[in-house]
Amino acid sequence: MKGLLIKDLKIVASQKRFFFIAILFSVIFAWTGEDVTFASTYLVLIISMLTLTTISHDDFNGGMLFILTLPTTRKIYTKEKYIFAFLNLMLGALCSILVCVIIGTIKGSSIPWAAIISSTAGITLAMGFMLAVTIPLEFKFGVEKGRIAMITAVAIIFLVGAGGYKLLTDVFHVDLKSTVAELISKLPSNGQLVEIIIGSLMFVLLLAMLFVSYLISNKIMKKKEF
Amino acid sequence: MLLKLEHVKKEYDSFKLDCSLEVKKGQVTGLVGSNGAGKSTTFKSILGLIFPDEGNIELLGKDISAITASDKEEIGVVLTEANVCEYLTAKDLIPIMKAMYKDFSTEDYMDKCKAYGIPLKKIIKDFSTGMKAKLKVILAMSHNAKLLILDEPTAGLDVIMRNELLDMLRDYMENEERGILISSHISTDLEGLCDDIYMIANGKIIMHEETDVLLSEYGVLKLTKEQYETVDKAYILSSKEEKFGYLCLTNQKDFYMENYPEIAIEKGNIDDFIILMEKGVRK
């Protein structure tokens, strides 16, 4: 596991120019833009994509064959990818908050904590979902076909979601908006407590998505022939 | 016994593998055969990269399904299709290998890279084919493995590099506890290195012999049609019709030299034997 993590870090390090440009852009966005949250979402997006970059590199020119002849197993490889993905998501979130706070402090403006944290948490969860869908698809179909499968899967999820919403509102006449508003109004009035509850739920949801995705990937890798 | 395959079977649309072979301690075993004969499928089965339909594979005294990550430290592998993560440098591989193998020697690895002209700071993707091939072999031999599994390790190397690599393998075998399974389509490489050789064609092992026996007792008979009709065929393994008559592979060259002095007999080499066994009519 340690060797595989070092390998992935080395791959990331080999992309340091790209990494530097990404941070530079996010600093520019945070500095020039009125809305610092754009910079935060941009950084999380870029850093979390690093996991997929390492999968592409592993897959390139018989790389997986080499990796699987090393003292590792398919299970360890899969586990390492998810640990790496989780660490990237956390690193992305941390970097985005840091960039926004540092730039905000330098500019002397007040730091919109709620906006920064909520946008970072939202994009981290969204990217976690994207990885949870993409990783098993890339393991199953390879990097190229996996990306196409991912786009198809996201489209299907969107269509099912939109269809479900339409079905509930138009056919079953459920007023979803007021139901959600009602649910939110039932939450404790202490704003900080609500944020902690929602934050924790999002974190648990992120872990759950990655765990379910890991179980699926494990099954795929167990059967895959190279 | 370092490796034992018993009727390992794998079926694809137009190909069927049925392979049995052994690699003993202190021995270099060769696997020869033409392209698509089943060499890579055999290697991939041994390494658990594909799953055989039937048969048993015993690796380092254990059933292959029981092989753990740490057991794999005892194996050094070179596969034709497998490549080191190409966006890294040879130097980047040091901490990775160190974390993977208890017995990885950085000093030895660096010395070998220097000796064989492997640049440490160049991206592997930009290496020549020969440099990539040498790096793969150096990595396979860098961690004191008991068994080396080498699929076409000399592919892409010129004659000087091939000889250097074969010398490296001979040095490696000074330790009697070790063994090598090696395949190559350049059979002269194997003649000077292997203790025994398996020949594979259409997924089946069609011959297994000690290299010394192969080179001293096997031969190619050149027979006219009349000679072919009358000659004793007891020791003819395979025969192939030619314009002048027949080419026959024998495992008792001396028998024909003594009893049929009029017959043209050539010593032959492993390439000739492969052609006759594959293309000829086998007994």
Instruction: State both tokens at B198.
Output: 């398996």
Interface test with B, best of A4, A5, A10, A19 (most B CBs within 10 A): A10
Q: Does B201 lie in the same domain as B188?
A: yes
What confidence tier does A189 reach under pLDDT thresholds 50, 70, 90? low
For residues B190 and B204, membership in a common domain is answered with yes
- Provide the shortest C-alpha distance from residue A169 to chain B (in Å): 51
Number of domains in chain B: 2
In chain B, what percentage of residues exceed pLDDT 90? 71
Contact assignment for A61 to B73 by CB distance below 8 Å: no
| Chain A residues whose C-beta sits inside 8 Å of any chain B C-beta | 2-3, 6-7, 10-11, 14, 57-58, 60-63, 65-73, 76, 225-226
Tell whether ipTM is more than 0.85: yes
Q: CB distance B97–A3 less than 8 Å? A: yes
Taking CA–CA distances from A224, the nearest residue in chain B reads B50
pLDDT at B183: 93
In the numeric block, which tokens belong to residue A164? Answer: 């479900």
**Is pLDDT above 80 for A33?**
no
Domain that includes residue A112, residue range: 2-223
Boundary of a domain, candidates B173, B193, B213: B213
Mean of the per-residue pLDDT values of chain B: 92
The whole domain housing B104 covers 3-213
Per-residue pLDDT tens digits for B139-176:
999 999 999 999 999 887 888 888 888 888 999 999 98
The beta-carbon neighbor of A2 closest among B68, B81, B99 is B99
How many distinct structural domains can be found in chain A? 1
Which is nearest to B85 in space by CA: A81, A171, A4? A4
Chain B residues within an 8 Å CB radius of A10:
85, 88, 92, 95-96
pLDDT tens track for A38-80: 777 788 888 888 899 899 999 888 899 999 999 999 999 999 9
Listed residues B184, B213, B242: the one ending a domain = B213
For residue B202, the domain's CATH number is 3.40.50.300
DSSP per residue over A33-66, as a string?
-S-THHHHHHHHHHHHTHHHHHHHHHHGGGHHHH
| Among the ranges given (A58-67, A104-113, B44-53, B84-93), the one the predictor scored with the smallest mean pLDDT | A104-113
DSSP summary character for residue B60: T
Report the alpha-carbon distance of residue B157 to residue B135 in Å, rounded. 12
B182-231 pLDDT tens trace = 998 788 888 889 999 999 989 999 999 999 999 899 999 999 999 999 99
Residues in Cβ contact with A87 at an 8 Å cutoff, skipping those fewer than 6 apart:
none
